[in-house]
Structure 1
C-alpha cells in the first residue's frame, strides 16, 4: 500500500520568518488521521528566512533528524555543541533526558530543511548531537543510509536510538533504484526535488508517500530528483 499525500494537502503555518508545512499533526495543525506513521512522528518542511531561526527551546525523548535541502543551519545547545550543517548534509539530536537547543539560519539566503522526528525505542539516556556531510554525488543511483539505529548501519550513518533508518538518494531523469523493506515495516518517502514514480504512484516534489506492506520499493525519476526515505518499526 502506498498512500499519496500531496503537498497541497499538508497542514502548516507561515510565521513570516518561518514558512512551515507539516506532513503530520504538529503545533497548531491537528489531523487525527495524521498523527504519525510507525515510529515516525513528525516530518516538517521548513523554509527559514535569512538571519532568523528557532531560539533556545527544550526537547526530551525524541530523535530529531535535520536534512538540509538548501542553505545551511547552525546549531547550538546547552551541552556546548555548535555546528553548521550545509545543504545535502544531516544533523541528528538525541534529546534523551533533556536538551535545550537553538537552530539559526545565519546565511544571506533562505534555508530549507526537512525536520524529522522519530520516537526512540526507550526513554532517557544522555542527550547527544552530531552532524555529518553526505555528498549528493555519493548517493547517485543508490540509497545511502544517513541516520540509523538498525544493526549493520553503525559505520555508515549518524546514530539514532530507534529501530529506524533514514536514507537519501539522488537520481537523474530515467534512472531507478530499489529499496528492500523487512517484515512489518513502515516507510515514508518525500522527494526534496523532482518528481518520481514509486511502484506506479507518481510523487511530486515535497509530496509524501506513506508506505506499508511493501517488500520492494522501486523509485524511478521522472525528472532529476533528490529523495529522502524513512523506514521504521510499527
Structure 2
C-alpha cells in the first residue's frame, strides 16, 4: 500500500519566526489517520527565520532526527554538546532519560529542515547527541544517515535507539533509485528537493508517500533532479 500525501494537505502553524507544516499530529493539529506512521510520531517541515530559533526546552524518551534542507541549524544542550549542522547533513538527539537543548538559526538566510521524532525501543537510556556530514554526490542510491538496525551498526550511520533507519538519496535529472520495504515493515518518503515519480506516481517537492507492506519502490528523478529522505521502521510498538 502506498498513500500519496500532498504538501498542501499537511497541517500548518505560523508563528512569525517559524513557519511549520505537520505530516502528523503536532501542537493544535489533529487529523484522524495522521497520528503517526509505524514508530514515527512527528515529521515537521520547518522554516526558521534568520536570527531566531527554539529556546532551551526539555525532551524525554524520544529519538529526534533533524535533516537540514537549506541553511544551517546550531545546537547546544545541557550535556555540553554544541555544533552546526548544514544543508544535506543530519543530527540525532536521543533524549533518553532527559535532555534540554536549544536550536538556533544563526545564518543570514532562512533555514529549512525536517524534524523527525521516532519512539525508542528502550526507555531509561542515557541521552546523547551527534551530527555528521554526508556525501553530496548524486547517483549513489539510498545511504543510511541514522539507524538502529543491526545491518548499519558500526558503519557511518549515526546510532538510533529505535528499530528504524533514516535514509537519503540524491538523484541527478532522470536518475533512478530503488528501495524495498519488507513485509511487516513501514516507511515514509518525503521529497526534500525537486520531484520524482514513485512507481509511476509523480511527487513534487515536499510531497510524501506513506508505505506499508511488502513494496518495491522505483524512483526516477524529474528534470531538476531530486533529494529524498526515507524513514523505514517497525510497526508501532
Do these two structures clear the TM 0.5 threshold for a shared fold by scoring above it? yes
User: Equivalent residue of 1:134, what SS?
Assistant: coil
TM-score normalized by the length of structure 2: 0.96
Deviation at 1:141, TM superposition (A): 3.8
Looking at structure 2, the residues matched to 52 and 145 of structure 1 have their Cα atoms a distance apart, in angstroms, of: 30
Partner in structure 2 of residue 25 of structure 1: 25
Distance (whole Å) between structure 2 residues aligned to residue 209 and residue 180 of structure 1: 14
Q: Which residue number corresponds to residue 144 of structure 2? A: 145
User: Following TM superposition, by how much is the alpha carbon of 1:216 offset from its aligned partner in structure 2, in angstroms?
Assistant: 1.5
2:179 maps to 179
Alignment of 1:91-170 (within 5 A): 91-137=91-137, 140-154=139-153, 155-170=155-170
Q: TM-score, normalised by structure 1?
A: 0.97
8 A contact 1:11–1:29 mirrored in 2:
yes
Q: Give yes or no for contact 1:141–1:175 (8 Å, CA) kept in 2.
A: no
- 1:183, distance to aligned residue in structure 2 (A): 2.3
Q: Quote how far apart the aligned CAs of 1:60 are.
A: 0.5
1:204 deviation in Å?
1.0
Asked whether the equivalents of residues 2 and 201 of structure 1 are also in contact (C-alpha less than 8 Å), the reply is no
The answer as to whether partners of 1:141 and 1:176 remain within 8 angstroms in 2 is no
Q: Count the aligned residue pairs.
A: 233
Unaligned ranges ≥5, structure 1:
none
Please give the per-residue CA displacement for 1:174-193, whole angstroms capped at 9, x wherever unaligned.
11111122221101000111
Alignment-derived partner of residue 232 in structure 2: 231
Residue 193 in 1 paired to residue 232 in 2? Answer: no
Give me the whole-angstrom Cα distance separating, in 2, the residues matched to 1:97 and 1:64: 14
Q: How far apart, in 2, do the equivalents of 1:41 and 1:201 lie?
A: 25
Measure the CA separation in 2 of the matches of 1:215 and 1:189.
Answer: 13
CA distance in 2, matches of 1:147, 1:140: 19
Deviation at residue 217 of structure 1 after TM alignment: 1.1
Q: How does 1:50-129 map to 2 (within 5 A)?
A: 50-129=50-129
> CA shift at 1:63, angstroms?
0.3
* Cα distance between partner residues in 2 of 1:135 and 1:28: 37
C-alpha distance in structure 1 between counterparts of 2:214 and 2:31, whole Å = 25
Q: Which runs of 4+ in 1 moved over 6 A?
A: none
Distance 1:12 1:196 in 2: 24
State the 1:172 CA deviation.
1.3
Q: Which runs of 5+ in 2 are unaligned?
A: none
CA distance in 1, matches of 2:211, 2:232: 9
